[in-house]
Amino acid sequence: MKNRTLINELKNKINEEVTIAGWMHRIRNLGKVAFLLLRDRTGMVQCVLNPNEIEMIKDLQVESVLKITGKVVETPKGDSVEIQATAIEIVSPVKEMIPVEINKDEIDAHMETIIDHRPVTIRHPKQQALFKVQAGILNAFRNAMVDEGFTEFRSPVLMSAPSESGASVFEVKYYGDKAFLAQSPQVYKQIMVGAFERAFTVTPVFRAEKHNTTRHLMEITQMDGEMGFIENYDEVLEVIESVVRKILESIGEKNKTELDLWQATLPKLPEGRFPKVKVKEALKIIEERTGRSSNREELDLDPEDEREIAKWALEKYNSDFLWLLNFKKDKNFYTWNNPEDNDESLSFDLECRGLEWLSGTHRIHDYEKLLENMKKQGLSLEHYEHYLEAFKYGIPSEAGFSLGLERMTQQIFELKNIREATLFPSDLDRIAGQRISRVKKEA
Cα–Cα dist 300/370, whole Å: 25
- CB-based burial label for 231 (10 Å; 0-12, 13-18, 19+): exposed
- Binding to a second copy (CB under 8 A): which residues in 43-72? 63-65
**Does position 418 bind a second copy by CB under 8 A?**
no
CA-to-CA distance for 47 and 36, rounded, in angstroms?
A: 5
Instruction: Please choose, out of 196-204, 269-277, 288-296, 350-358, the segment that lies near a second copy by the rule CB under 8 A.
Output: 196-204
Amino acid at position 166, single letter: G
Give me the least distance between CB of 122 and a second copy, in Å please: 4
Whether 122 and 423 have beta carbons less than 8 Å apart is answered as: yes
Nearer to a second copy, 21 or 325 (CB): 21
CB of residue 352 to a second copy, shortest distance in Å: 21
Residue among 34, 49, 88, 132 that touches a second copy (CB under 8 A) = 132
Total interface residues for a second copy by CB under 8 A: 105
Going 137 to 141 to 142 to 147, the CA torsion angle's sign is positive
Q: Tell me, what amino acid is at 249?
A: E
Q: 176 vs 291, which CB is nearer to a second copy?
A: 176
Active site residues: 207, 209, 215-216, 356, 359, 407
Select the residue interacting with a second copy from 405, 408, 412, 418 (CB under 8 A): 405
Tell me the one-letter amino acid at 235: E
- Helix ranges, 148-202 (H): 186-196
To a second copy, the closest distance from the beta carbon of 193 in angstroms equals 10
Strands (E), 43-187: 43-49, 65-74, 81-92, 151-152, 158-159, 171-174, 177-181
* Nearest by Cα to 360 from 330, 390, 384: 330
Site for a second copy in 351-390 (CB under 8 A): 365-367, 382-383, 385-387, 389-390
DSSP-assigned letters across all residues of 197-261: SEEEEEEEEE---SS--SS--SEEEEEEEEEES-SSTHHHHHHHHHHHHHHHHHHHHHTHHHHHH
Regarding 432 and contact with a second copy (CB under 8 A), the answer is yes
Residue placing its CB nearer to a second copy in the complex, 375 or 435? 435
Which string of x and - marks every residue 11-30 that binds a second copy (by CB under 8 A)? ----------x-xx------
Helix (H), strand (E), coil (C) string for 256-286? HHHHHHCCCCCCCCCCCCCCEEEHHHHHHHH
Determine if 331 is a binding residue for a second copy (CB under 8 A).
Answer: no
Q: Give the residue, chosen from 71, 123, 296, 311, that forms a contact with a second copy under the rule CB under 8 A.
A: 123
229 binds a second copy (CB under 8 A): yes
Q: What is the DSSP letter of 192?
A: H
Find the binding residues for a second copy in span 96-115 (CB under 8 A): 96, 98-99
- Choices 68-76, 92-100, 106-114, 348-356 (CB under 8 A): range interacting with a second copy: 92-100
Paired with 126 in beta bridges are: none
Q: Find the binding residues for a second copy in span 136-195 (CB under 8 A).
A: 138-139, 142, 146, 149, 151-154, 156-160, 170-179, 181, 188, 191-192, 194-195
Using the contact rule CB under 8 A, the part of the chain among 78-86, 290-298, 308-316, 424-432 near a second copy is 424-432
Q: For the segment 300-329, give every residue that binds a second copy (CB under 8 A).
A: none
Per CB under 8 A, 439 contacts a second copy: yes
Does position 256 interact with a second copy (CB under 8 A)? The reply is: no
Which of 29-37, 265-273, 300-308, 432-440 is the region at the interface with a second copy (rule: CB under 8 A)? 432-440
What is residue 330's DSSP assignment?
P
